[in-house]
Amino acid sequence: MVSAPRLLAAGVGTTGPLARSLFFLGMCEEQALVARVRDKGLVLITGCGHPTVELMLQMVRRLCDEPLYAIAGGIHFPVTQSRSRWHGIQLQMFLGTGKPPWQRISDDDLSRTITHINTVGPTRVLLSAHDTCDHALRRLSRELDAETTVLEAGATYRV
């Protein structure tokens, strides 16, 4: 069982479980993988991104201090809408945000994350649209200094 950031094998590690509140549903643990790509650097591979990319990057730094080449996966930013609805309720805007339902993820939260990613300086960012609204994807594509791609189901990507 993995309980903290650690190397799993040569060139591959995990952030360990990172918890974030799903509010009504309790805590959700998620972990991200980090892999060393020869002649490029580290690649952070996230799931839904509930724990925040900032926290995942902090855990990566506990493993090693090599340059970050890419971030790939979800970062959970349903700022203006949710892709998941249940009886008309936009679930992703209320669950997995780490905030109570009456406090939503905002453009200010997104701006802080954009600044953080730009400070870390990856060359590439490959974003999942699963838990992130189109507004946030457009802002990330425009404002990140990295080459930014929105992932599409069924497509193949190389890092």
What number is the average pLDDT over the span 49-59? 91
The structure's pTM equals: 0.89
Asked whether residue 158 is assigned to any structural domain, the reply reads no
pLDDT value of position 125:
98
- What's the structural domain count of the chain? 1
Asked whether residue 68 is assigned to any structural domain, the reply reads yes
pLDDT value of position 107:
93
Asked whether residue 155 is assigned to any structural domain, the reply reads no
CA distance 77 to 123: 21
Q: What is the CATH number of the domain that holds 13?
A: 3.60.15.10
pLDDT value of position 37:
95
pLDDT value of position 96:
67
What number is the average pLDDT over the span 75-101? 75
Angle at alpha carbon of residue 88, lines to 84 and 89, rounded to 5° = 65
HEC secondary structure over 74-90: CCCCCCCCCCCEECCEE
Cα 67 to the center of its chain, rounded Å: 18
What number is the average pLDDT over the span 128-136? 91
For the beta sheet containing 147-150, the strands, ordered from the edge strand earlier in sequence to the opposite edge, are 6-9, 12-14, 33-37, 41-45, 68-73, 124-127, 147-150
Asked whether residue 106 is assigned to any structural domain, the reply reads yes
pLDDT value of position 123:
98
CA distance 70 to 42: 7
Give the rounded percent of residues in the chain with a pLDDT score beyond 90: 52
- Reported residue count of the chain is 159
